[in-house]
């Protein structure tokens, strides 16, 4: 399938429908012919529960490590086990990231990212002199703020959904959603004019149980008609019925498209670990492999790994999760190499929040704020920590209180804007996706160089 | 310990537990106000419910209608049926005595899950199980962290307390070893140098189980300060205050063993206090400016802390709105919530029987029983809807069965929600086609893939076989006879309309009838009809 030929066909038929013709038709075609550039995909891995990133990357400088160790006590990682990560050997990676460490030049870390309305100091926070994000330290609210890119007030669309709204012209001729979750629904993918796709890893796509016989065809036709009827109901009690029926209509259309595309996609040779996150990233790889048949030039994926709410037993629980994450992300990176898109796919983490540097009295840590994150891909200028590492000190300049809750120094908006611009969103449109971005001086954290 | 205030809630976020916007609200409000005024009382009592009204009621008060409950409700009326349900004991879990163990004595969550569906479909104590299930979606624990043998005593506790009072539930759950382990209340030591107390249970009992994030009025809408911003219901100092108040509890000693700090796990008895590990310092800030006195025991501090929460004005609206959502409608009107809150706030405060009865008999829940237009509506969550399909079809079910597999594909693995935030949030809003938003918690589970999984489940029920489930098709094939015409088809559809209510508008009936006429045998006609009615969104969305 030649995507360009289809795009031309689509734009011509659209053009033919424009009665005024002339300049306005040309304008339409111009809009459709925005430089698309090569294929690009963003892959989000959300670490649900609030990942304690204080133990994701640990300072190796003896003085700073000493401070870390004296505050962390029993939860401190042994500096001889850390994987020296960056070129200047300032930071070590949690020892369970050994598979990922092999790709360290395609791996960047961003320090102390979090929800902010504007740059915020400890003094401003303690004196409550500027606006703060809503409901800090609450899981559901902080997940929501990370995913919507709106930290106060409300949003029922996510930043990736709005990104899909504004990048839609990059998938000409495709009806399949730009955003697909492989782990259940998320507000991150809800757009104003686009809807999210959803695929369950390892499950067959589309309705099961229909043959080619007349009875089957009649039954399938009836199902579709019933759904159609439900979308048209107007009585005051039918709001949710219509909503569910609309979703079913999209489901049926998108499943047909996807089934056709997957049937022509090449099987992958890369072996993924048989874990939940491994299977999700395998599904993402399959959807990337199907990009040509789906006529996608831009895709956004959402995966998640849960269990990071480590109020107890943190060393063990987080260690296990990191081991799963490392193996799955490494396999995914290899798969992007196999598909020759390693420099066209960028994978990044998000999480509710980080956790207190000071441990609690039973082997865990409590809810905090700014956290360190992983960005992976061959376009990433890896081997480096971006952003500003917090001052490791209780009641210090980075602390929101006295337990080591870091006030973020890079906002979710800035982190997302960096990814969105690489994805192709013009700087002039950033505020459509990140409404608060103007409150921050820089819109590029720099990890793409 | 450094204390600092987190008084930074500016406005509610989209996921706040309390709902903020509802575009149909003015209409709902007016309608219920008119109804309430006209009746002189909030409850409409219909002496003998029609089959339609009874099946609608049983979607709310039971795991859907089956033949017996349908007959009972029609014979007894709603109120007497509720009384009879209050009087029934909990269904015993099967296999007895320990449903978490299989025949070989191995511990399996699957046995507990299979028992859930067995009891949901077959249990006579439908209302108790439905309310216990609703409570379990507020006081969430999960097999993600807990072992199966830990879950069973907890589930029994919720069933026992379903018709008690809310403070009883608060006390029993707080001291239950399952919740103790799940949210780390167990073995939570008093603060020591360089370590605070574990804040997990303190934060979540406030945020999720009792008061919520922001101050609420009696219709569960956020109160606003003079700048128009929501008012936080508590701050970080209070989270730490409650965390310290809750320190010093460990598992009960095993029978015959000496008690020590800390005891080994014991899932069968409430946790026990150890005053030497309880924080007795002054300065434990609770809600409403209350501070616990220094030097009290763990028992006294725990009771005072729970009382402090229970008597907070937020508890009624926060809990009642969620119970309405779990039983009746995603989007109750302000007036409906207020009416239930005033029942909750009457003496005895938090009386679950009174609250449940009021929710089910409220005019807003019963409007529509006569087939008229009504706004009470919700998407049935997968475990309720799959159970309702089996009950409606008169299916027999045994344990083991594979119902859990199907509900899981729809995003709801019973007893294994991903986190303490349940499968969906009470404040989850769905964005409508016109970009307006509408509170609809269950829609958090609905996606392109789970929607199709729902239809696939009905396909297996109709044309395949769900392990452990048997459906007798003869009631339908008997109606159809050997050579069914439109008259027989319509009679069968009438029967199915009582069993699986909601799907057969005149237009839908025509479509289904035409598809049935293409089926080759009476059995396949019945199966085609069940597939199309069962998978229809009119059946999946209650209204």
State how far the Cα of B412 lies from the Cα of B419, in Å rounded to an integer.
12
State how far the Cα of B2 lies from the Cα of A395, in Å rounded to an integer.
9
Q: Among B338, B366, B394, identify where a domain stops.
A: B366
Residue B197 near chain A (CB below 8 Å)? yes
Query: Which residue among B433, B447, B453 sits closest to A181, beta carbon to beta carbon?
Result: B447
Domains held by chain B: number: 2
Residue B478 lies in a domain: yes
Q: Among B315, B346, B366, identify where a domain stops.
A: B366
Tell me the mean pLDDT in the region B51-70: 95
Residue A249 lies in a domain: no
Residue B538 lies in a domain: yes
Cβ <8 Å between A157 and B431:
yes
Residue A177 lies in a domain: yes
In the predicted model, what is the mean pLDDT of chain B? 89
pLDDT at A449: 79
**DSSP H or E run through B510:** helix B506-518
The two tokens of residue A168 are: 């839609």
Query: Which residue among A240, A254, A403 sits closest to B541, beta carbon to beta carbon?
Result: A240
Q: Specify whether B35 is located in the same domain as B160.
A: yes
Largest CA distance in chain B: 84
Digitized pLDDT (tens) for each residue of chain A, 449 residues in all: 333 333 333 333 333 333 333 333 333 333 444 446 799 999 999 999 999 999 999 999 999 999 999 999 999 999 999 998 877 789 999 999 999 999 899 999 999 999 999 999 999 999 999 999 999 999 999 999 999 999 986 788 999 999 999 998 889 889 999 999 999 889 999 999 999 999 999 888 999 999 999 999 999 999 999 999 999 999 888 999 999 999 999 999 999 999 999 998 889 999 999 999 999 999 999 999 999 999 999 999 999 999 999 999 999 999 999 999 999 999 999 999 999 999 999 999 999 999 999 999 888 999 999 999 999 999 999 999 999 999 999 999 999 999 999 999 999 999 999 999 999 999 999 999 999 999 999 999 999 97
Residue B219 lies in a domain: yes
**Residues of A with Cβ-Cβ distance to B375 under 8 angstroms:** 236-237
Q: What is the 3-state secondary structure of B222-279?
A: ECECCCCCECECCCHHHHHHHHHHCCCEECCCCCCCCCCCCCCCCCCCCCEECHHHCC
Q: Is residue B204's pLDDT more than 90?
A: yes
Range of the domain at B357: 25-366
Q: Percent of chain B having pLDDT more than 90?
A: 80
Q: Among B366, B395, B419, identify where a domain stops.
A: B366
The two tokens of residue B407 are: 């509900």
Residue B319 lies in a domain: yes
Position of tokens 């409150």?
A439
pLDDT tens profile B385-407: 999 999 999 999 998 899 999 99
Q: Specify whether B360 is located in the same domain as B503.
A: no
The two tokens of residue A316 are: 């063990």
Q: Is residue B26's pLDDT more than 50?
A: no
Cβ <8 Å between A240 and B378:
yes
Residue A249 near chain B (CB below 8 Å)? no
State how far the Cα of B532 lies from the Cα of A89, in Å rounded to an integer.
64
Residue B260 lies in a domain: yes
Cβ <8 Å between A132 and B10:
yes
Residue A117 lies in a domain: yes
The two tokens of residue B287 are: 């809600």
The span from the first CA to the last CA of chain A, in angstroms, equals 34
State how far the Cα of B412 lies from the Cα of B129, in Å rounded to an integer.
17
* Segment among B37-41, B127-131, B200-204, B395-399 with least mean pLDDT: B37-41
Domains held by chain A: number: 1
Tell me the mean pLDDT in the region B128-134: 97
Residue A395 lies in a domain: yes
* Global ipTM: 0.89
**Residues of B with Cβ-Cβ distance to A49 under 8 angstroms:** 419
A415 touches A446 (CB < 8 A): no
In a 10 Å sphere around its CB, with 0-12 CB exposed, 13-18 middle and 19+ buried, how is residue B534 labelled?
buried
pLDDT band at B99 (very low <50, low <70, confident <90, very high): low
Cβ <8 Å between B432 and A153:
no
Cβ <8 Å between A215 and B16:
no
Q: Percent of chain B having pLDDT more than 70?
A: 89
Residue A260 lies in a domain: no
Which of these, A245, A239, A256, lies nearest to B508 by C-alpha position?
Answer: A245
Residue B395 lies in a domain: no
Burial B172-211 (b: 16+ CB within 10 A, else e): bbbbbbbbbbbbbbbbbbbbeeebbbbbbbbbbbbbbbbb
Residue A10 lies in a domain: no
Q: What angle do CA B159, B17, A366 make, to 5 degrees?
A: 85
Cβ <8 Å between B192 and A154:
no
Residue B455 near chain A (CB below 8 Å)? yes
State how far the Cα of A59 lies from the Cα of B400, in Å rounded to an integer.
52
Range of the domain at A331: 37-203+270-439
Cβ <8 Å between B379 and A240:
yes
Residue A430 lies in a domain: yes
Nearest CA in chain B to A117: B10
Residue B150 lies in a domain: yes
**DSSP H or E run through B136:** helix B126-136
Tell me the mean pLDDT in the region B53-60: 95
pLDDT at B373: 84
Residue A211 near chain B (CB below 8 Å)? no
- CATH number of the domain that residue A314 is part of: 3.40.720
Cβ <8 Å between B207 and A155:
no
In a 10 Å sphere around its CB, with 0-12 CB exposed, 13-18 middle and 19+ buried, how is residue B247 labelled?
buried
pLDDT at B119: 93
Residue A130 near chain B (CB below 8 Å)? no
How far is residue B297 from each of residues B244, B247, B274, B293, B494, measured CA to CA in Å? 12, 10, 9, 10, 64
């Amino acid at each position: 399938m030649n995507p360009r030929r289809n795009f031309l066909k689509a734009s011509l038929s659209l053009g033919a429908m424009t009665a005024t013709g002339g300049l306005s038709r040309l304008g339409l075609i111009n809009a459709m012919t925005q430089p698309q550039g090569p294929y690009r995909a963003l892959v989000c891995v959300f670490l649900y529960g609030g990942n304690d990133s204080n133990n994701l990357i640990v300072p190796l400088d003896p003085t700073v490590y000493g401070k870390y160790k004296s505050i962390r006590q029993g939860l401190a990682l042994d500096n001889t086990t850390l994987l020296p990560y960056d070129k200047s050997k300032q930071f070590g990676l949690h020892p369970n990231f050994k598979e990922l460490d092999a790709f360290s030049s395609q791996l960047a870390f961003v320090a102390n990212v979090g929800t902010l309305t504007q740059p915020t100091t400890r003094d401003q926070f303690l004196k409550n002199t500027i606006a703060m994000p809503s409901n800090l330290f609450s899981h559901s609210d902080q997940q929501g703020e990370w995913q919507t890119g709106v930290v106060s007030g409300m949003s029922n669309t996510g930043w990736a959904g709005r990104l899909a709204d504004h990048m839609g012209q990059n998938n000409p001729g495709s009806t399949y959603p730009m955003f697909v979750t492989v782990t259940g629904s998320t507000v991150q993918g809800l757009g104003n004019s686009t809807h999210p796709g959803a695929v369950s890893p390892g499950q067959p796509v589309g309705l099961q149980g229909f043959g080619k016989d007349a009875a089957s065809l009649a039954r399938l036709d009836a199902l579709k008609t019933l759904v159609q009827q439900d979308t048209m109901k107007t009585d005051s009690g039918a709001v949710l019925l219509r909503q569910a029926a609309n979703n079913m209509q999209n489901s049926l259309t998108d499943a047909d498209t996807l089934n056709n595309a997957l049937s022509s996609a090449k099987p992958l040779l890369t072996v993924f670990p048989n874990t939940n996150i491994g299977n999700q990233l395998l599904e993402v790889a399959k959807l990337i492999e199907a990009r040509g048949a789906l006529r996608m030039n831009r895709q956004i994926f959402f995966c998640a790994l849960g269990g990071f709410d480590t109020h107890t037993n943190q060393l063990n629980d987080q260690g296990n999760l990191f081991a799963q994450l490392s193996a799955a992300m490494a396999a995914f990176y290899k798969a992007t190499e196999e598909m020759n898109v390693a420099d066209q796919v960028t994978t990044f983490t998000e999480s509710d929040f980080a956790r207190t540097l000071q441990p609690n009295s039973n082997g865990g840590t409590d809810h905090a704020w700014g956290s360190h994150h992983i960005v992976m891909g061959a376009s990433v200028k890896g081997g480096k920590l971006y952003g500003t590492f917090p001052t490791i000190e209780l009641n210090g300049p980075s602390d929101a209180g006295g337990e080591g809750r870091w006030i973020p120094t890079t906002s979710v908006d800035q982190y997302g804007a960096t990814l969105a611009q690489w994805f192709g969103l013009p700087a002039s449109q950033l505020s459509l996706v990140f409404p608060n971005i103007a409150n921050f001086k820089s819109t590029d954290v720099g990890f793409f160089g | 310990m450094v204390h600092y205030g987190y008084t930074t809630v500016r406005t509610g976020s989209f996921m706040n537990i309390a709902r903020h916007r509802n575009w149909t609200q003015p209409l709902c409000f007016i309608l219920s106000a008119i109804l309430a005024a006209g009746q002189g009382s909030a409850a409409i009592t219909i002496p003998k419910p029609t089959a339609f009204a009874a099946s609608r009621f049983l979607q709310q008060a039971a795991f859907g209608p089956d033949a017996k409950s349908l007959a009972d409700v029609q014979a007894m009326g709603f109120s007497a049926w509720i009384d009879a349900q209050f009087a029934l004991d909990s269904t015993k879990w099967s296999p007895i005595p320990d449903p978490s163990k299989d025949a070989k004595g191995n511990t399996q969550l699957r046995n507990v899950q299979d028992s859930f569906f067995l009891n949901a479909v077959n249990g006579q104590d439908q209302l108790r199980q439905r309310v216990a299930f609703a409570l379990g979606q507020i006081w969430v624990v999960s097999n993600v962290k807990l072992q199966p043998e830990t879950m069973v005593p907890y589930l029994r506790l919720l069933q026992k307390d379903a018709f008690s009072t809310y403070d009883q539930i608060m006390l029993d759950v707080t001291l239950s070893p399952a919740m103790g382990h799940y949210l780390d209340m167990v073995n939570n030591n008093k603060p020591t140098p360089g370590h605070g107390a574990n804040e997990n249970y303190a934060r979540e009992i406030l945020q999720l189980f009792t008061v919520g994030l922001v101050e609420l009025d009696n219709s569960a809408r956020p109160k606003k300060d003079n700048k128009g911003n929501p008012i936080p219901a508590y701050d970080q100092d209070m989270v730490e205050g409650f965390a310290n108040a809750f320190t010093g509890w460990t598992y009960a000693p095993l029978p015959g063993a000496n008690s020590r700090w800390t005891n080994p796990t014991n899932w069968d008895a409430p946790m026990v206090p150890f005053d030497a590990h309880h924080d007795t310092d002054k300065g434990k800030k609770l809600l409403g400016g209350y501070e616990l006195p220094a030097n009290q025991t763990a028992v006294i501090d725990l009771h005072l802390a729970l009382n402090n929460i229970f008597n907070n004005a937020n508890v009624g609206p926060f809990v009642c709105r969620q119970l309405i959502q779990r039983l009746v409608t995603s989007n109750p009107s302000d007036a409906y919530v207020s009416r239930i809150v005033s029942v909750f706030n009457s003496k005895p405060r938090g009386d679950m029987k009174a609250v449940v009865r009021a929710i089910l008999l409220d005019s807003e829940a019963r409007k529509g029983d006569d087939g008229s237009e009504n706004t009470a509506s919700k998407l049935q969550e997968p475990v309720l809807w799959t159970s309702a399909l089996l009950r409606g079809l008169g299916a027999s079910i045994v344990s083991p069965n594979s119902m859990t597999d199907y509900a899981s594909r729809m995003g709801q693995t019973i007893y294994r929600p991903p986190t303490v935030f349940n499968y969906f949030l009470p404040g989850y809003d769905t964005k409508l086609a016109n970009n307006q938003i509408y509170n609809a918690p269950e829609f958090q589970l609905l996606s392109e893939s789970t929607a199709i999984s729902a239809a696939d489940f009905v396909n297996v029920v109709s044309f395949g076989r769900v392990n452990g489930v048997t459906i007798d098709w003869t009631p339908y094939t008997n109606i159809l006879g050997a050579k069914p015409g439109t008259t027989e088809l319509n009679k069968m559809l009438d029967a199915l309309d009582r069993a699986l209510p909601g799907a057969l508008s005149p237009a839908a009936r025509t479509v289904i009838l035409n598809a049935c006429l293409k089926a080759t045998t009476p059995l396949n006609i019945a199966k085609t009809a069940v597939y199309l009615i069962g998978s229809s969104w009119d059946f999946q969305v209650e209204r």
